[in-house]
Amino acid sequence: MIGLRPSASAFRQAYSGCTGRVRVPVSASGPASGRFLAARVQVSAPFSTVSLAYDLHEPAKPVADKQTSPIIFMHGLFGSKKNNRTISKVLARDLRRHVYAVDLRNHGDSPHDHRHDYPAMAADVADFIRQHGLKEPTLIGHSMPAHSNHPPKTRGAKTAMALALHEPDLVANLIAVDNAPVDARLGSDFGWYIQGMKKIDEAGVTRQAEADEILAPYESSVAIRQFLLGNLHRPSAASKTQQFRVPLPILARALDHLGDFPFKSPAEVRFAKPALFVRGTQSKYVPDEVIPLIGQFFPMFELVDVDAGHWVISEKPEAFREAVIRFLEPKE
């Protein structure tokens, strides 16, 4: 393995009993040598992992059992396993591999927890791999769509990259969709969305059309509003009102630090296994100037450009499918 990585205890110690900006001491050796620098967290005790909900997409004629070389698909903020259902089924069919589409913590059917950051999400996925006995999985991560003027704030891709760098022995390879291992300047869109979503919860809506009317002043894009409203549900069979299944207060507190990437020094932590970065050429989230940094963190990376915006998978599903298949098919 190239470079050093922080231990699981270092991840926990970095946040234990801290409020505000945390800087982990960096040395040439020792548990904090991966330069894990966190941004604005609010926790009072070491974090624990949660058991992730998932959908398993099984191929008709698998090349191996469901534990061997599966794909783990991760969504971003306000997403869920259902967002990746179609492409997961396609990849399961074409690659004849099992695909696990997971709900990350505080999303979908997975448990809620007061902590929501990349180390915690990566640790959840690592535990998922161990709990299910998965061998040499492929990680695929993408973010939720964001307003065209601002970058997305939380990314399945950053969770995947953080896990690959922290525990490379657990992972066979990585696919990051329109994202890079860098800190991002955050816009205000998601805080604005949460305000609108809180208004919906307070209104006690019974129909999605009512919720959409409340959310419209907060977001003009119908597609993004539909995406956000996909988180509405009826808490019980007897309930007439709809509420958001995501814990809005927890996610609101997490927004300040979800733009940061937890690893800062590629000289000290690398993922020396194959990695594919799929970039939308009409998107601004993987500019040419960050490509050298990608190569430092992921020295065996490949870059594929797709003529699309940030919504690479939904805009150009066939181009994305072809890129993934070329990357994952056995090389002669």
Question: Which residues are marked as active site?
Answer: 143, 310
Burial of 306 (0-12, 13-18, 19+ CB in 10 A): buried
Residue 80, SS3 per DSSP: coil
Packed helices 156-166 and 118-131: angle between N→C axes, nearest 10 degrees: 70
Q: Which amino acid is at 134?
A: L
d(CA 260, CA 168): 20
Under a CB-based contact definition with an 8 Å cutoff, are residues 321 and 90 in contact?
Answer: yes
3-state helix, strand, coil in the chain (%, to 5): 35, 15, 45
Query: Which DSSP string corresponds to 269-298?
Result: B---S-EEEEEETT-SSS-GGGHHHHHHH-
User: d(Cα 265, Cα 181) in Å, to the nearest integer?
Assistant: 11
Between the alpha carbon of residue 124 and those of residues 103, 156, 168, the distances in Å are 10, 13, 15
Task: Say how far apart CA 159 and CA 143 lie, in whole Å.
Answer: 10
- Structure tokens given for 300: 């065996």
Rg of the chain over Cα atoms, rounded to whole angstroms, equals: 19
CB atoms within 10 A of CB 282: 14
Mapping DSSP onto H, E and C, the string for 246-273 reads CCHHHHHHHHHHCCCCCECCCCCECCCC
